[in-house]
Amino acid sequence: MQTVGNDTQAIITEVIRHRRSIKPFDMDSTREVDSALILELLENANHAPTHGLTEPWRFHIFTGEGKRTLAETMARLYRETTPEAEFREDKMRKMSENPMLAGAVIVLGMARRGGVKIPELEEIEAVACAVQNLALSVTSAGLAGYWSSPPLVYTRQFVEWLGLGTEDRCLGLFYLGWPKAGFTPPKANRKPVTEKITWHQS
């Protein structure tokens, strides 16, 4: 196996630590993201680990007028599926505005093909690994990306609209775009990893 040198390690550390969630508001709505570039990013996502090689990630890419269709559908389904007491006009507006601010929206699907052999949790974990590959590739390409998970994406209505199967799930939306000119990403905000580590040495 080819070994990974010190340079590669330094580069990957930099990419991981510079990855930030950058929301559609900070994306340049006038710039599309080239489909060849999107494919390249998703090729990296496709290299995520997957138990039993089920490769459960499914990507539904919305660009151009497709973003409008997604925006209108999300607003309609939000109205249809939200109980009156929980309904918020501002949330519905955001759902119809956000896709139009991004260069592309990648809806994150999880297709259950492993049967009982692979627990659903592991299929969800595999998709999350794929999304992290995507997010890191987005960062290294100088793009902005953001994983969004409004409750609507977990509804059967939205999953069915995407054309996913009855056992499949939607895990969210990944907004993708070029950052606005002059945009400065926020600094990372994490408590020390030592607070989350327990060593067992005997």
Ligand X SMILES: Cc1cc2nc3c(=O)[nH]c(=O)nc-3n(C[C@H](O)[C@H](O)[C@H](O)COP(=O)(O)O)c2cc1C
Tell which positions 114-133 bind ligand X, by CB under 6 A.
Answer: none
Residue with Cβ nearer ligand X (147 or 161): 147
Strand order in the sheet with 104-110: 57-62, 104-110, 169-177, 144-148
Residue with Cβ nearer ligand X (5 or 186): 186
Q: Which residue has the tokens 């000119």?
A: 181
Among 8, 13, 69, 149, which residue interacts with ligand X (rule: CB under 6 A)?
149
Q: What does the per-residue mask of binding to ligand X show for 18-57, with x meaning CB under 6 A?
A: --xx------------------------------------
Cα–Cα distance for residue pair 27/198, rounded to 1 Å: 39
Ordered alpha helix ranges (H), 46-193: 65-81, 89-101, 120-140, 156-162
Cα–Cα distance for residue pair 173/157, rounded to 1 Å: 15
* Nearest approach, Cβ of residue 189 and ligand X (Å): 7
Residue with Cβ nearer ligand X (2 or 189): 189
CB neighbours of residue 86 within 10 Å = 8
The CA-to-CA distance between both ends of the chain, in Å, stands at: 33
Residue with Cβ nearer ligand X (32 or 82): 82
Segment near ligand X (CB under 6 A), from 43-51, 88-96, 109-117, 148-156?
148-156
- Residue 167, CA distances (Å) to 52, 147, 156, 179, 191 in order: 18, 22, 10, 36, 37
- Taking alpha carbons only, the member of 188, 165, 150 closest to residue 70 is 150
147 binds ligand X (CB under 6 A): yes
Letter for the amino acid at 185?
Answer: P
Residue with Cβ nearer ligand X (103 or 172): 172
Tell which positions 171-190 bind ligand X, by CB under 6 A.
Answer: 172, 188
Residue with Cβ nearer ligand X (111 or 129): 129
Segment near ligand X (CB under 6 A), from 4-12, 36-44, 111-119, 144-152?
144-152
Segment near ligand X (CB under 6 A), from 43-51, 74-82, 147-155, 162-170?
147-155
Is there a contact between 14 and 111 (Cβ–Cβ < 8 Å)? no
13 binds ligand X (CB under 6 A): no
Question: Would you tell me which residues interact with ligand X (CB under 6 A)?
Answer: 20-21, 147-150, 172, 188
